[in-house]
Amino acid sequence: MQKQHISKYIELIDKLRKNHELTFEEYLMLIQNRDKCSEYLFKNANEVREEIYGKDVYIRGLIEFSNYCKNDCLYCGIRRSNRNLERYRLNKEEILDCAKQGYNLGFRTFVLQSGEDRIFYR
């Protein structure tokens, strides 16, 4: 009996992989019973990921150029009302220097990140 139930989930996973869609009820059934077919589901998900993205890992340098923020999101450490934070802003030369240092360390792509600093975002 147990194998029949598992085969139903395997059929749904195969259908999803082939057609890239399921009905709402089929998605719900898979989600609610994912523990019964997780090994097969993860194996298929990993295969699809490798087909699309390969096995290469790309690391990007992160340059946080300001921790000022106009917003006051309660979950965020750089929120406006956090008075215990030492604030900073990097200027253009400092940002470029960080990128040069990162390049010398082997990074080839960079992400620039900051709070919503009114100086940079108007």
- pLDDT tens, residue by residue, 16-46: 999 999 999 999 999 999 888 899 999 999 9
Report the pLDDT averaged over residues 7-20: 94
pLDDT of residue 3: 58
Beta strands 110-114; 61-66: pairing state: parallel
Q: Is residue 121 part of a domain?
A: no
Looking at residue 91, its amino acid is N
Cβ proximity of 54 and 61 under 8 Å: no
- pLDDT per residue over 81-104, tens digit each? 999 999 999 999 999 999 999 999
Question: Is there a single domain that holds both residue 71 and residue 91?
Answer: yes
Do 73 and 34 lie in a common domain? no
Q: Is residue 120 part of a domain?
A: no
User: Does residue 33 sit within a domain?
Assistant: yes
Same domain, 40 and 75: no
- Arithmetic mean of pLDDT over the chain: 92
Cα angle: 40, vertex 45, 46; to 5 degrees: 100
Do 41 and 69 lie in one domain? The reply is: no
